[in-house]
Each structure stands twice: as structure tokens, then as C-alpha cells.
Amino acid sequence: MVASLAVLLAASGCSVAGADPIGGGPDTLRIVLPEEPPTLEPCDASLTATGRVTRANITEALTEREPSTGRLEPALATKWTRDSATSWTFTLREGVTFHDGSPFTAAAAAFSVKRATDSGIDCNVDGYIFADSELTATPVDDTTLRVTTAKPDPILPLRLSFVEIVPTSTDPDSRVREPVGTGPYRIDEWNQGRYLRLKRFPGYWGKSPDFAAATYVWRAEGSVRAAMVTNNEADVAIGLAPEDGAGDRAVEFATNEVSYLRMDATKPPLDDIRVRQAVNYAIDREGLVTAVFAGRPTGQLVAKGVTGHNPRVRPWPYAPERARGLVAEARADGVRTDITLTIIGRNGIYPKAAEAMEVVQDGLIKAGLKVRIKMLDVNAWLEYLLRPFPAGDTGPTLLQAQHGNQAGDAAFTMAQIYGSEGAQSSYGTDALDTLIERAQLASGGKRQKAFADAFAHQNDKVVRDAVMANMTGLLALSPKVRYRPDPSTNDEMRLADMRRAD
């Protein structure tokens, strides 16, 4: 398998042509991304492509999780206390203003919580972070906010680290194109399809960032992004592969991102667990991380260090003979294994995304399944990721996906991805729903065990996914930038952490 992958990579080639200079002057940080953000709507900041631009740059939350330590730190709230099982009080930071000059108050915080969790604009953060749970935010005075929940929620302050705070002048009924926040940068110009430029906010309450401006552009080819740094056309390039040619400008880092395939278990032949098991056995995970992208094989959607990670859930072994046997067994029992499966891929989701799916396709075909690949750009792909899914008969699908649990708790993975009604879930079971519900109400050691049990149940009894690898990140930095990436960098790239090297 590794040999065939090498041939595949050689055939794909890498071009460095077509990289336009970004410009902007020496005080501008030039960043090249794999894709343009589909939206800058703050309540969708839990989406990677949006969050890496907005979170902690344009908008901020009441709390923030320090990626390196996992500790929850103050942000727009300076402290918080739990008054009862269902009630919390937050003390808010004084002297903070939004980019439009209006003051940050408890009324704005309450408005932001309601807009993100109880509005008709289908915020991603609602399904992803709160799993549609009910909560009420009430301003007590300008600097005091009380938040109550319908059910006990032991990690509410952590969940609120995903609610980006916006002023009350923000449209509560429609998504905004250019959000106003309290962050160190405000939007200067978004020329859709070409570039996005941020300018330093002179009224920022915290330490002023080094760079006066930041300009983002997007190039799909990793080799082009790397070349833009080595040719001094960009200062930061993310989402690179070792083969992209960043050379001594490359910086490798651990991430919390896990790549996986979401199987539509409601349609034949994927509605038969033997076929879903066969898909897992047919994927050569070691080959993928050796020859296609950087990482290490894993069997679950959260990385070590996240509450709920189960070390007993191991990566599925590469067992092509067993895969063929399971498919043959299902076929003999009348399962329609001749129905074509469609891999819904996403360009740029990680390095060599299309090549990875070709490797998967090859393994599944050898197992006796029919498979085609449909690569989409991020907006079209999101229609398959999030409910409501595309109407009509799309046939059985395997969705190429990647999940990063930057919050550090499996609550932000299980309900939305594996719950029967989860925002990113295509299939669930009553038994798994019960395990998830039990885990979400638990605290401390019981919480860890309950989520670990839920992951084991998914892996042994449900097999909804083919989890592939815990990804290793690679970015490139120009000589003018000092930056230490952390496990959350792919989801939340804080411009204030990027310092001038001179």
C-alpha cells in the first residue's frame, strides 16, 4: 500500500505557480489560508474556517480555554461562581468597548447568549456547543450577568467560551456579514473571493498587538501556500504537508484535529454494521499517515488530554481480507453491496485531502464495494455536514470530515456528532443517546468514565464512523514573525500571539 501511495503522490505533482503577492507594507501580517471563510458570523465561529479568523481576533467570549494547559481563563468575564446546580453568576470586565464605540455591558452579553442559543438563525454554536439545551442570560447590572440552565450543566463557563459577544445593535434575526466585536482587530475590508483585511483596534482593552493590520488570502494548493512564504509573498501559511516545500520555514505542531469518515448508516449497504466494519478494516491508516498526511492513527474523535478520551479504543487494524469477508457475508444475506457509495470530500480540509480519499476508495473497492468520489468546496460540503442535509436521494455517502475538540471536553463532540439529533449527526441510537446524556450530567472522574464508555460503545456497537488519524499540523512562518502554534491553532489562530521578530 505504501508503494502505491508513493506513486499516487508523485503523479499528483506540486505547482508553485499562481501565487499573487498580498502586499500591505511591513506592518501588515500576511496570512494565506487553504480556503476563504464561508462566513464571519460570530455564532458560527465554532466552524474551523470561520473561527480561525474571528475568534479572539474580531470577537471575544466571556471565558477562554488556554490551549496549552486546558485551564479556563478570564476574557470578557473576570470571574464566575456557581450559585446552584442550574445558576451561575459572571462578573464582567469594565472599560471594554466594541469596535463601533458602544460599551460592553451585561445587556450585550445577555443579548449575545440569546442570539447564539435561542434564535431562528440556526447558529452552529447552538447545536455544536449547547446541543440545543435551554439557558437564560439575565443582566443583573452593567457588570453582572446571571445565566441559568434548564438542566444542571457542570461545564457552563466552558461552553460560554464559544459564545462570541456582539453589541445589542447586531441583527438578532439574520446572520451578519461583517461582525462587530471587542477583539484586538476590526474588519477593514472583505473583498469576497480575493482577500480579507483586519486593522488593529485602537480602543482595545488589552495589550495592543504587534502588527497594525492583517491581510488574509486563500490558495487551495499547499505547495502554493508554502511557496508564498519562501518567496516573501506571505508571512504565515497553514494547512501544509511535508511535501509542500516549506523547508526551514516549516513549523510542526500537535493538534486536536481528528480526521474521519461519517457513514450514512440509514441507507443500504451502510445500514448493515458488517459493511461499516468492513469500511474500517479496508482503510490503511498507517499507510495514510506515512505517505499522504502527517499524523498518527486513532480510533476515536477526541485526542489524548480531552475529558472522555478512552485509551482502550484503539485504531481499527488494516485487515483487507477481513473486510472482503464481511462484505461477502453481507451480500450472501441479501444486502445490496452493489449500490455505489459516494465519498463526499472537501478540498483543503487537510493536506492531500483528495489523494487521501483516493486511497480510501482504493481500499473499499478491493473490499468489494462500489465507490465514487465527489470533492466539494467548503460551502457545498457544509450542506452535507450540517442538518438539514440535502434533500432528495443522494444515495449512501461517506463524508470526509475532521473534528477538533479545542474545548477539552467530550461534551463538545458526542452530542452533536453521535447524538440522534446532533447537528452533525446522520445516525444515532437510543442506547448511545442515553450514554451521552448520562455523561453530560456527570462531573469529575464520573464524567471521564461516562464519556469513555460512550466512545467504546460507539466503536463496538454502533460503528457509525471510520475514524482515521489524529492529525499533525504544519505551518510556515516568514523570518519577520515569531509564533508558537498550539493544539488549537487550526481552529483559533490568535493574531495577537504573532510577534514581530525584529
Q: What is the pLDDT of residue 488?
A: 85
β-pairing, 236-237 with 63-65? unpaired
Q: How confident is the model at residue 6 (pLDDT cuts 50, 70, 90)?
A: very low
Cell of 269: 449497504
**Side-chain half-sphere of 359: how many Cα atoms within 13 Å?**
30
Q: What is the pLDDT of residue 243?
A: 85
By the 10 Å C-beta count (0-12 exposed, 13-18 middle, 19+ buried), 306 is classed as buried
Q: How far apart are CA 343 and CA 362, in angstroms?
A: 12
> 29 - beta bridge partners?
214
Residue 439: count other Cβ atoms within 10 Å of its Cβ: 25
Choice among 234-238, 277-281, 289-293 with the minimum mean pLDDT = 289-293
In which residue are the cell numbers 475590508 written?
189
Model pLDDT for residues 363-386, shown as the tens digit of each residue: 999 999 999 999 999 889 999 998
Q: What is the mean pLDDT of the chain?
A: 91
Class of domain 256-472: alpha beta
Q: Which residues contact 188 (CB under 8 A, 6 or more apart)?
A: 197, 198, 199, 213
Q: Which residues contact 292 (CB under 8 A, 6 or more apart)?
A: 5, 9, 352, 355, 356, 359
Cell of 383: 450542506
- Identify whether the C-beta of residue 129 lies closer than 8 Å to the C-beta of residue 162: yes
CA distances from 168 to 139, 165, 242, 421, 451 (A): 13, 9, 46, 31, 37
Q: Which residues contact 82 (CB under 8 A, 6 or more apart)?
A: 88
Residue 391: count other Cβ atoms within 10 Å of its Cβ: 6
- Identify whether the C-beta of residue 278 lies closer than 8 Å to the C-beta of residue 367: yes
Q: Which residues contact 409 (CB under 8 A, 6 or more apart)?
A: 155, 158, 306, 307, 308, 447
**Nearest partner of 22 among 177, 198, 270, 281, judged by Cα:** 198
Q: What is the pLDDT of residue 88?
A: 98
Question: 2 versus 377: which is more confidently predicted?
Answer: 377
Cell of 435: 450514554
> 214 - beta bridge partners?
29, 198
Count of positions (residues) in the chain: 502
Q: What is the pLDDT of residue 391?
A: 80
Average pLDDT over residues 227-242: 94
Q: What is the pLDDT of residue 15?
A: 32
Model pLDDT for residues 165-205, shown as the tens digit of each residue: 999 999 999 999 999 999 999 999 999 999 999 999 999 99
Q: Is 226 left (phi over 0), alpha (psi -120 to 50) or beta?
A: alpha
Q: What is the pLDDT of residue 46?
A: 84
> 373 - beta bridge partners?
343
pLDDT above 80 (res 393): no
Q: How far apart are CA 188 and CA 214, in angstroms?
A: 10
Q: What is the DSSP letter of 307?
A: B
- Rounding to the nearest 10 degrees, give the CA dihedral for residues 293, 296, 299, 304: -130
- Identify whether the C-beta of residue 269 lies closer than 8 Å to the C-beta of residue 278: no
Helix (H) or strand (E) holding 400, with range, is: strand 397-404
Q: What is the pLDDT of residue 87?
A: 97
Model pLDDT for residues 328-344, shown as the tens digit of each residue: 999 999 999 999 999 99
Q: How far apart are CA 443 and CA 66, in angstroms?
A: 20
CATH topology of domain 60-165: Dipeptide-binding Protein; domain 1 (3.90.76)
- The sign of the torsion formed by the CA atoms of 128, 131, 132, 134 equals negative
Q: What is the DSSP letter of 380?
A: H
Q: What is the DSSP letter of 421?
A: T
Model pLDDT for residues 56-96, shown as the tens digit of each residue: 999 999 999 887 777 899 999 999 999 999 999 999 999 99
Distance of CA 161 to the CA centre of its chain: 15
pTM for the complete prediction?
0.75
Q: How far apart are CA 366 and CA 360, in angstroms?
A: 10
- Identify whether the C-beta of residue 498 lies closer than 8 Å to the C-beta of residue 236: yes
Domain boundaries, the chain: 60-165, 256-472
Backbone angles phi, psi at 384, to 5 degrees: -90, -25
Q: What is the pLDDT of residue 304?
A: 87
End-to-end CA distance of the chain: 47
Helices 273-282 & 320-332 angle (0-180, nearest 10): 160
Q: What is the DSSP letter of 205?
A: S
60-165 and 256-472 in the same fold: no
